[in-house]
C-alpha cells in the first residue's frame, strides 16, 4: 500500500480547495478507515477501492 504522501506526489491523490483528499481517477473524497491490523490510518476511495496509508 502506498503512503498518502506518495499518492499525492504521483498524482493518484489530489487535494481539493478545502484541503480534503480526493481520488484523481474518480474524484471521490477519500474515506477514513481505522484498521487495528494496520499501522496508522488508512484512507480509501469509495469509487475504486484504492487505499493509501497515512504515516506519522
Ligand atoms: Zn478512486
pLDDT in tens, the chain (56 residues): 899 999 999 999 999 999 999 999 999 999 998 777 767 789 999 999 999 998 76
Euclidean distance between CA atoms 15 and 10, whole angstroms: 13
Rounded to the nearest angstrom, the distance between the alpha carbon of 56 and the centre of ligand 1 is 23
Rounded to the nearest angstrom, the distance between the alpha carbon of 28 and the centre of ligand 1 is 6
Rounded to the nearest angstrom, the distance between the alpha carbon of 4 and the centre of ligand 1 is 13
Cβ atoms of residues 47 and 28 within 8 Å: yes
Rounded to the nearest angstrom, the distance between the alpha carbon of 42 and the centre of ligand 1 is 14
Rounded to the nearest angstrom, the distance between the alpha carbon of 3 and the centre of ligand 1 is 15
At 36 the pLDDT is 76
Tallying the residues shown for the chain, one arrives at 56
- pTM higher than 0.85, yes or no? no
Amino acid at each position: 500500500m502506498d503512503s498518502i504522501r506518495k499518492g499525492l506526489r504521483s498524482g493518484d491523490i489530489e487535494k481539493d480547495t478545502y484541503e480534503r483528499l480526493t481520488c484523481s481517477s474518480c474524484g471521490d473524497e477519500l474515506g477514513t478507515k481505522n484498521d487495528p491490523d494496520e499501522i496508522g490510518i488508512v484512507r480509501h476511495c469509495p469509487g475504486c477501492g484504492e487505499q493509501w496509508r497515512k504515516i506519522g
